[in-house]
Amino acid sequence: MTALKNEFRPMLRLAAPLALAELGWMAMGAVDTIMAGPLGAAAIGAGSLGGMLFYPIVVAATGVLLGMDTLVAQSFGADDPVDCRRTLVDGIWLATVLAPVLGAVVWALIPAMRAAAINPRVLHLFTPYLKALLWGIPPLLYFTALRRYLQAVDIVKPVTFTLVSANIINFVGNYALMYGHWGFPKLGLEGSGYSTSVSRAYMAAVLLGAVVWSERRSGSPILRISWRPHLARLRRLVALGFPAAGQLLVEGAVFGLVSVFAARLEEHALAAHGIAVNVIATTYMVPLGISSAAAVRVGQAVGRKDPRAAAASGWSAVAMGALFMAAAGVALWAVPRWIIRIYTRDAAVVALGAVLLRIAAFFELFDGLQTVITGALRGLGETRTPMLAHFLGYWVVGLPLAYALCFSLGWGAPGIWIGLCAALILVGSILLAAWLRKSTAGGRLSPPVVFGSQRTDGENRPPAVQPQKDHETLE
Query: What pLDDT, on a 0 to 100 scale, did the predictor assign at position 256?
Result: 73
Give 70-126 pLDDT, tens digit per residue. 888 888 888 888 888 888 999 999 999 999 998 888 888 777 777 766 667 777 777
Helices (H), 180-230: 189-217
CA dihedral sign of residues 439, 443, 448, 450: positive
Residue ranges in the chain whose pLDDT is less than 70: 1-4, 52, 116-119, 219-220, 441-475
User: CB–CB of 253/109 below 8 Å?
Assistant: no
Helix axes 267-303, 307-334, angle to 10 degrees: 160
The C-alpha angle 105, 174, 106, rounded to 5 degrees, equals 5
| CA distance linking residue 305 with residue 225, whole number of Å | 27
Q: What is the dihedral of CA 307, 308, 314, 320, to 10 degrees?
A: -160
What's the pLDDT tens digit per position in 289-303? 899 889 888 988 888
Q: What's the one-letter identity of residue 459?
A: E
Question: Hey, is 408 helix, strand or coil?
Answer: helix
* Contact assessment for residue 296 and residue 71, using Cβ atoms and an 8 Å cutoff: no
CB 88 within 8 A of CB 69: no
At 248 the pLDDT is 80
Number of residues assigned to the chain: 475
At 265, give phi and psi (nearest 5°). -95, -170
The confidence score (pLDDT) of residue 442 equals 41
- Name every residue whose Cβ is closer than 8 Å to that of residue 148 and which is 6 or more positions away in sequence: 65, 66, 68, 69, 72, 91
Answer yes or no: are the C-beta atoms of 150 and 156 closer than 8 Å. yes
Q: What pLDDT score does 463 carry?
A: 35
Contacts of 56 (CB under 8 A, 6+ apart): 248, 249, 251, 252, 253, 255, 256
Q: For the chain, what is the radius of gyration of the CA atoms?
A: 22
User: CA 414, CA 270: separation in Å to the nearest integer?
Assistant: 11
